[in-house]
Amino acid sequence: MPKGLTPRLSALKDEIEGYARDYGLDFFETVFEILSYEELNMVASYGGFPNRYPHWRWGMEYEQLSKGYEYGVSKIYELVINNDPCYAYLLESNAEVDQKLVMAHVYGHCDFFKNNFSFQHTNRRMIDEMANHATRVRRWVDKIGVEKIEDFIDRALSLENLIDQHAPYIRRNPDPKKAEEEAKSNEKVEGFKVNREYMRQFVNPSEFVEAQRKKVEEEAERAKKNFPERAQRDVLLFLLDHAPMEPWEFDILSIIREEAYYFAPQGQTKIMNEGWASYWHSTIMTQRALRDAEVIDYADRHSGTMGTRPGALNPYKLGIELFRDIEDRWNKGRFGKEWDECDDLRERRAWDRKLGQGRRKVFEVRKHYNDVTFIDTFLTTEFALEQKLFVYGFNEKRNSWEIVDREFRKVKNKLLSQLTNFGQPIIEVVNGNFENRGELLLAHKHDGQDLKGDYARETLKNLQSVWRRPCNLVTRYEGKGLMLRFDGQNHSEKKVEL
């Protein structure tokens, strides 16, 4: 069972919280609880929540985390939940310097959760909602049976990334009332605008106006026949609206979708979120909270977190270094037209306008950016060279991984492609009545990376089990159009024109 803070830890919490607020961090009330390593692994296997719906994958996650801790391969230092109040967990066996570091790190996360735009739509009572989801699924298990429920959850989880991660911020489909008004206004076709009434019959003869009217009517009729009228990126929502599911299937799929949207902002801001928390634990610990006797232990923990290894990207390291770079650039005025046009290397190295705007700028960035816009806007050539970033690939002749390119534009584009849509393919529903047979047609928005055939076929198989009719997916493979199909029994494919 979770334990409350000891008097000593409670005093440390008040101290670290005071430092965080002094620096301008703004966060929800934060509740810390102490857990043993078994309890912390259990909560971590649940995605940071104390209660989740029953499913075998939580046990698998727990086993992996437990073995990692027992063998000394990995150790969880902190867990924090985007909630109001925020809940965070401390490992019971941590040394005092570790607890202070974790508290400082947690307050950075809590500030980010509260203020970054990506989290503004998230449920701030998700602990209660997760418990509610668990209760609903357990009721269905009692009624339907554990095997049937787990089998459906397996299939639903394979589809959980088929959402529109940008849906909370933009409206892809027009407002129904406005669309209806626009359709009515289009019914009246007058042709080209004329300044003189007597010229109308010459500029817009009756035959031309009639042809335009028929064209508008045909387009409107075609739009009505399309189902959906526009390509829909939120595949799970389309299934919930139109798939012939049982009540229990509908309820479970809606739970999977709701949780997918809750966790999406954390995937969209992994580099920024961890970088921001690391920036503040580093600032608070080195400037305010550390005692002389704790410096070596702190340096050991911090360097372990920031360490990188060949072929891997450490979000903690990239995030904190980019925030520090932004702060330094805005303190010295290394931005704007004058800086961009300066091509004297000696002058650029010595450039310092002493503006002192760095701290204000990083707070602004924390609020208005996600990982993609963060990297796209602030990753510079100088930063890439300093951090020794590169693109790597597998050399089949040598049978080894090696550096492919260090050119800045390629490095940046590769990083952005990995972050866009979480590095996963973008799939849209194009037609829910394909060839007037009730089949589902999806399209892959090809970005230069072909789909993995085995993944695509298994996903189609799981989609078909929900849609109950054959499912089709149009993609591009090796530069040519290809349609994959699963009819409930067999997979097939055929070439198509794109």
Domain borders along the chain are: 7-116+269-296, 127-167+233-267, 196-226, 307-420, 425-495
pLDDT at 194: 60
Long-range contact set of residues 488-494: C-beta below 8 Å, sequence gap at least 24: 488/464, 491/457, 491/460, 491/461
- Walk along the chain (498 residues) in steps of 10 and give the mean pLDDT of each run: 84 97 96 92 92 93 88 80 95 93 97 96 95 97 95 95 90 60 53 62 68 70 69 94 95 97 95 97 96 95 86 88 97 94 91 95 97 95 88 77 81 89 90 92 90 93 95 92 94 90
> How is residue 166 written in tokens?
């940008």
Distance, CA of 244 to CA of 238 (rounded, Å): 11
> How is residue 356 written in tokens?
């002192």
Beta bridge partners of 86: 30
pLDDT at 197: 63
Distance, CA of 304 to CA of 307 (rounded, Å): 5
8 Å CB contact between 151 and 248 = no
8 Å CB contact between 104 and 16 = yes
7-116+269-296 belongs to CATH 1.10.10: yes
Distance, CA of 410 to CA of 415 (rounded, Å): 8
Crossing angle of helices 247-268 and 270-284, in 10° steps, is 50
Show the DSSP H helices in 188-246 as ranges.
Answer: 200-203, 206-225, 235-242
Q: For residue 149, what are the contacts with CB-CB under 8 A and spacing of at least 6?
A: 137, 140, 141, 248, 252
pLDDT at 186: 47
8 Å CB contact between 163 and 261 = yes
pLDDT at 26: 97
C-alpha 267 chain-centroid distance: 3
> Beta strand pairing status for 78-81 and 30-35?
unpaired
Q: What is the largest CA-CA distance in the chain?
A: 94
